[in-house]
Amino acid sequence: AQKVTQAQTEISVVEKEDVTLDCVYETRDTTYYLFWYKQPPSGELVFLIRRNSFDEQNEISGRYSWNFQKSTSSFNFTITASQVVDSAVYFCALYSSASKIIFGSGTRLSIRP
Amino acid sequence: GAGVSQSPSNKVTEKGKDVELRCDPISGHTALYWYRQRLGQGLEFLIYFQGNSAPDKSGLPSDRFSAERTGESVSTLTIQRTQQEDSAVYLCASSLVGLRGASTDTQYFGPGTRLTVL
């Protein structure tokens, strides 16, 4: 069965701190795709990144970085030097051809000024 | 328009009525997705269209839900005999090549339709 676990329900840090959001997934498929999405307080959903299972390269985009480790079935998301605008709910998701897109329950991130 | 648009933005209906929700994807995007988000809850995948392939309907919660897409343009999500548990924000997204394409493929979301079933 497919499963995505975001064990951190809520995280609160002070601005400029680094913060890592954890995402652990379960799948029996050898080809799958992982995603992160951001949902700020305004409610709009923003796609952040997608990673294919055959590409374990880590990704960096500005203050955002993603660490994909197949050995531990994790796809963690780190925000460096966090800012108040990073406050949002972040969702991790998994897709494979054998199953529908599965979302984690989300992590609510609050950045305090 | 430049982005994904959805209509209506809000819909209030009575239990038992049918509703249609519309999504206009970004022009040229071959992939289109429907998601649902109940109040205060996470996201649920509903259906995925990829070009002319048969849609992935694996997320539709019941046979009261159906969706159509004409070519690579507008999509309509229909909910028949609405129930109170159907109340949610329905989100549509589109992307250029879809789930099995390049990892750089970006999904663009519409503003959503807030459905309230009384």
Question: For residue A99, is pLDDT > 90?
Answer: no
pLDDT at res. A61: 86
Q: In the numeric block, which tokens belong to residue A14? A: 């002070």
CB contact under 8 A, A47 and B91: no
Mind listing the pLDDT tens digit for each residue in A32-90?
Answer: 999 999 999 998 899 999 888 888 778 888 999 999 999 999 999 999 999 999 999 99
**Candidates A6, A36, A50, A52, partner chain B, best to mutate (most B CBs within 10 A):** A50
Question: Which has more pLDDT, B101 or B45?
Answer: B45
Mind listing the pLDDT tens digit for each residue in B31-89?
Answer: 999 999 998 888 999 999 998 888 999 899 999 999 999 888 999 999 999 999 999 99
Residue B1's pLDDT band (boundaries 50, 70, 90)?
Answer: low
pLDDT at res. A100: 82
With H, G, I as helix, E, B as strand and everything else as coil, classify residue B44.
Answer: strand
Q: How far is B2 from chain A (nearest CA, A)?
A: 16
Task: Say how far apart CA B50 and CA B25 lie, in whole Å.
Answer: 12
pLDDT at res. A59: 83
Q: How far is B56 from chain A (nearest CA, A)?
A: 8
Residue B2's pLDDT band (boundaries 50, 70, 90)?
Answer: confident
Strands B113-117 and B10-13: parallel
Task: Say how far apart CA B77 and CA B71 lie, in whole Å.
Answer: 15
